Amino acid sequence: MEAEGTLGVVAEISIAFTGFAGIVGALAGAKLRPAHLHVWLPFWLMIEGGLGTLFAALFPMLPYHLGLPDPHVWSASSGFVVILIVCHIAFMSPRFIPRKTHPGSGYPLSRLPRAQHC
């Protein structure tokens, strides 16, 4: 496989990126809670982006070393990247899509307090 060296460099860069995000997260301390969305979301996007790139860069080496021909290696790797993207969208989309709230109460529709009986 001709791209083995390039994929190794991409994996090293993604490890450095994830390490940098970890250092930033250690310095942020208690602000890395979902309550501080302006700090929490970019941090997890950096971690997820770095690890996703790492796995996407290392995955083609597995089918290659198992003896698959190059077209099958890249087909399997492309499928793996699609799975990574779908998981990313499924995990992050609830943070970007605003919840519908009950008018006047401010509670999300899924968490309205139950009426108390007398």
Question: What's the pLDDT tens digit per position in 37-65?
Answer: 777 778 888 888 899 999 999 999 999 99
Quote the tokens at residue 111.
Answer: 């968490």
Confirm if 61 and 4 have CB atoms less than 8 A apart.
yes
Contact present, 74 and 35 (Cβ < 8 Å): no
pLDDT digits (tens, 9 = 90+) for 51-104: 999 999 999 999 999 999 999 999 999 999 999 999 888 887 777 676 666 566
Decide: 23 and 50 in contact? Cβ < 8 Å.
no
Work out the pLDDT band at 15, boundaries 50, 70, 90. very high
What pLDDT score was predicted for residue 36?
A: 72
Task: Say what the pLDDT of residue 10 is.
Answer: 93
Residue 13 has pLDDT above 80, yes or no: yes
Euclidean distance between the first and final Cα of the chain, in Å?
74
pTM of the model: 0.70
